[in-house]
Amino acid sequence: MNPASSWLSRRWPTAAGLAAAIAALVTVADRETAVTCVWVAVLCYLAAAALDRPWMAWVAVPAGSAVIAVGEITGVGRWVPLGAAAVVLAVVAVLVGAPRRQVAAQFVGGIVYAGLALAALALDPDVGLVVAGLVLASHAAWDAVHHHRRAVVSRSLAEACIALDLPLGLGLVVLGLAT
């Protein structure tokens, strides 16, 4: 096995996260993209905590995309359905008896990250891009803590998110400062 394929077989989450970050920077590098990434990350962590299944974080990626699509197709936008999905996950957590401390930490963390990200939309576009990028990049720290602790989400999801959040967030900060 050559060194590149050996690295890829071990670090596929990093490769996937970097590929997504590069694709976003090349195609849709704006603050709404950053805010959407933060919200989907919040749902990933909350879904895994609410169902006490780390692998559910991966399921939440396409599920979050579907929630966004439904919001956009119906004309209500993405933020209301994403917020509703977070509330539904919190209710599900109570109904299934998920570990309260774990769910509470994800819910509070999610409110902080998603709230800061949404606030970026109310700012001047360039300033908002910088703020949204910083919020997204800072989420990589959340990912790193969970990766290190092997907590809430699968390590592969946390690794992929670090590789997405940090370069995309910092790339958006650079773009915001350059304009």
Please give the pLDDT value at position 82: 97
Q: Are 45 and 146 in contact (CB under 8 A)?
A: yes
User: Are residues 35 and 118 in contact, defined by beta-carbon separation less than 8 angstroms?
Assistant: yes
Rounded to whole angstroms, the Cα distance separating 160 from 162 reads 6
Residues 143 and 47 sit within 8 Å (Cβ to Cβ): no
pTM: 0.93
Q: Supply the pLDDT for residue 136.
A: 98
Which residue matches tokens 């959040």? 165
Tell me how far apart the 2 most distant CA atoms of the chain are, in Å.
Answer: 51
Instruction: Tell whether the model's pLDDT for residue 179 goes beyond 90.
Output: no
Query: What pLDDT, in 10s, does the model give residues 8-59?
Result: 678 999 999 999 999 999 999 999 999 999 999 999 999 999 999 999 999 9
* Mean pLDDT of all residues in 60-83: 97
